[in-house]
């Protein structure tokens, strides 16, 4: 099996994240502080139910190796019996004519010990090989499950920050439009504007209030998603730093990421191991045509309480036997064809997995690369919309713009603020997914993401009411 070093890495301590995350968390986590990404990742590795199920499946596959090895070892069997016999001879029998007893009751006991040892059985060897390849496959699947859990947790974590950023933008929008409504009401009261402008402002304010309530609901729901993944409830988490770096992926060549994925992606490696499992299944089917050679030994002891017989009977036997199937009704040939088709299917599955992994790696690389320009453009959009709002307000004050123009400019500004926050978080999540697809999602990368957080700003599960 290739990738021996990777197998060792994935098997060590249920995968290196678990130990690594625990170590870092114990060093960084402070008392009664908001949870950060490393803390929550550790909780997920400990308590996620999907991951626990995958670990239990790995234990079952490991037991399958022991089952296969058992068939290669000596087999010893003991059996015994106790009987009560009644023998009856009719008057015309030979015993009756010679004065023998016509019926007889007696008790008997017998013990048999038998041992066998396979000397040559190609099927047993192939079954052991298949069991070992199945463990390799399950090891990669477990690694893929752990990576997926970490991606899900990371995405859920940053989705909370996304929901909070949108909520903050909606709160600011509600406050700004609320002030605009107050000004419109004051101007109407002194007869400077018509009632229609007040109603326009009120409608916009009501919509902003509805948007804020929806954003609060999204924030609370996002915390519930994180709880489902980890089995733990978090009242608050660390927020993202304003100075978070937004850089292109490294390495900077897309093909380098594809090569990394082909060598390290646990899903690709699991599919490769699946091909080897299918090859072993073909060997098992073909072994049905081969002879089986085994050594055997047996010992038998028997005794009964018949008066006319003294002593006991014993016998022992040692030898070797050979068996060769000559005709099985076509079962062997059918089994070979069936396993060969399964092998062909697994090879196509491997090719499909490779193509899908390449597609996703290329797509995510492009997304992460484009995120840099997107974040920059979104930041510039905030500046532009802020300038547009100020110009619109100035025009409203001199009578060249109406209140609808101001309200639309307010909406555009806070939409731009929310879009910029989402672009930054999209960049983080896309980087997380890229490393997962490439098989390079490790504790160092999680620590890097965790370093972009700050305990000085936290996001709470229970948002406070917006300022009046």
Lowest mean pLDDT, pick from 18-27, 134-143, 270-279, 417-426: 18-27
pLDDT digits (tens, 9 = 90+) for 11-60: 654 444 444 444 444 444 444 457 899 999 999 999 999 999 999 999 99
So what's the pLDDT on residue 12? 58
3-state SS, 55-89, equals: HHHHHHHHHHHHHHHHCCCCEEEEEEEEEEEEEEC
Cis geometry, peptide bond prior to residue 251 (ω within 30 degrees of 0): yes
* Measured distance CA(306)–CA(303) in Å, rounded: 9
So what's the pLDDT on residue 308? 66
Question: Which tokens in the block code for residue 387?
Answer: 């300038």
* Measured distance CA(226)–CA(112) in Å, rounded: 62
436 dihedral zone (left: phi>0; alpha: psi -120 to 50; beta)? alpha
319's enclosing H/E stretch is strand 313-323
Give DSSP secondary structure letters for 324-364: -----TTHHHHHHHHHHHHHHHHHHHHHHHHHHHHHHHHHH
* Measured distance CA(449)–CA(155) in Å, rounded: 12
* Measured distance CA(122)–CA(255) in Å, rounded: 43
Q: Where are the alpha helices (DSSP H) in 231-290?
A: 254-264, 266-286
Question: Which tokens in the block code for residue 100?
Answer: 């023998």
> Whose structure tokens read 């555009």?
412
* Measured distance CA(359)–CA(353) in Å, rounded: 10
Closest-CA residue to 378 (of 335, 401, 355, 412): 412
Is the pLDDT confidence value at 420 over 60?
Answer: yes
* Measured distance CA(253)–CA(56) in Å, rounded: 39
Answer yes or no: are the C-beta atoms of 251 and 257 closer than 8 Å: yes
So what's the pLDDT on residue 307? 67
So what's the pLDDT on residue 377? 97
Lowest mean pLDDT, pick from 270-274, 413-417, 461-465: 461-465
Give DSSP secondary structure letters for 156-221: HHHHHHHHHHHHHHHHHHHHHHHHHHHHHHHHHHTTSS-HHHHHHHHHHHHHHHHHHHHHHHHHHH
* Residue count (the chain): 468
Question: Which tokens in the block code for residue 393?
Answer: 């307000």
Lowest mean pLDDT, pick from 27-31, 100-104, 131-135, 335-339: 27-31
Output the pTM of the full model. 0.83
- Report DSSP state, residue 235: S
Distance separating the N- and C-terminal Cα atoms of the chain: 66
**Angle formed by the axes of helices 331-398 and 403-438, nearest 10°:** 150
pLDDT digits (tens, 9 = 90+) for 319-368: 999 999 999 999 999 999 999 999 999 999 999 999 999 999 999 999 99
More confident residue, 197 or 5: 197
Answer yes or no: are the C-beta atoms of 29 and 39 closer than 8 Å: yes
Q: Report the DSSP beta bridge partners of residue 292.
A: 323
Is the pLDDT confidence value at 468 over 70?
Answer: no
293's enclosing H/E stretch is strand 292-304
Give DSSP secondary structure letters for 84-106: EEEEE--TTSHHHHTT--SEEEE
**Angle formed by the axes of helices 37-47 and 195-230, nearest 10°:** 50
So what's the pLDDT on residue 463? 55
Domains, the chain? 4-73+121-289+330-460 (1.20.1600.10)
Close Cβ partners of 418 (under 8 Å, ≥ 6 residues apart): 165, 166, 169, 170
pLDDT range class, residue 123, cuts 50, 70, 90: very high
pLDDT digits (tens, 9 = 90+) for 55-80: 999 999 999 999 999 999 999 999 99
């Amino acid at each position: 099996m290739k990738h021996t070093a990777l197998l060792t890495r994935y098997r060590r301590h249920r995968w290196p994240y678990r130990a690594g995350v625990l170590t870092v968390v114990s060093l960084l986590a402070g008392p009664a502080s908001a949870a950060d990404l490393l803390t929550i990742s550790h909780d997920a590795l400990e308590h996620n139910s999907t991951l626990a199920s995958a670990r239990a499946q790995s234990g079952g596959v490991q037991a399958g190796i022991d089952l296969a090895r058992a068939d290669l070892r000596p087999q010893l069997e003991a059996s015994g019996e106790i009987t009560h016999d009644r023998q009856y001879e009719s008057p015309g029998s030979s015993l009756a004519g010679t004065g023998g007893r016509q019926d007889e009751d007696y008790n008997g006991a017998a013990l048999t010990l038998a041992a066998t040892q396979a000397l040559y059985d190609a099927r047993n060897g192939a079954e052991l090989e298949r069991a070992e390849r199945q463990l390799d496959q399950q090891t990669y699947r477990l690694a893929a499950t752990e990576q997926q859990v970490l991606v899900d947790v990371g995405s859920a974590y940053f989705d909370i920050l996304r929901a909070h950023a949108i909520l903050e933008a909606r709160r600011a929008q509600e406050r700004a439009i609320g002030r605009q409504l107050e000004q419109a009401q004051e101007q109407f009261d002194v007869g400077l504007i018509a009632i229609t402008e007040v109603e326009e402002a009120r409608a916009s304010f009501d919509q902003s209030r509805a948007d804020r309530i929806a954003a609060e609901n999204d924030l609370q729901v996002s915390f519930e998603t994180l709880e489902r993944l980890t089995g733990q409830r978090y009242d608050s988490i660390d927020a993202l730093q304003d100075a978070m770096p937004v850089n292109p992926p490294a390495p900077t060549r897309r093909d380098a990421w594809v090569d990394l994925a082909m060598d390290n992606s646990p899903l690709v490696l699991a599919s490769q191991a699946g091909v080897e499992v299918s090859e072993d299944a073909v060997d098992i089917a073909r072994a049905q045509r081969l002879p089986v050679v085994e050594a055997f030994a047996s010992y038998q002891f028997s005794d009964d309480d018949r008066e006319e017989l003294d002593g006991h009977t014993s016998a022992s036997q040692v030898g070797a036997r050979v068996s060769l199937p000559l005709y099985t009704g076509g079962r062997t040939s059918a089994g070979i064809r069936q396993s060969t088709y399964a092998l062909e299917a697994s090879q196509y599955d491997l090719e499909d997995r490779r193509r899908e992994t390449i597609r996703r790696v290329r797509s995510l690389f492009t997304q992460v690369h484009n995120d840099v320009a997107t974040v920059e453009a979104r930041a510039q959009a905030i500046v532009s919309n802020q300038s547009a709002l100020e110009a619109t307000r100035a025009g409203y004050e001199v009578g060249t713009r109406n209140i609808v123009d101001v309200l639309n400019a307010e909406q555009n500004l806070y939409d731009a603020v929310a879009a910029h926050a989402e672009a930054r978080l999209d960049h983080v999540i896309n980087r997380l997914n890229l490393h997962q697809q490439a098989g390079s999602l490790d504790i160092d990368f999680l620590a890097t993401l965790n370093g972009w957080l700050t305990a000085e700003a936290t996001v709470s599960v229970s948002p406070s009411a917006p300022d009046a």
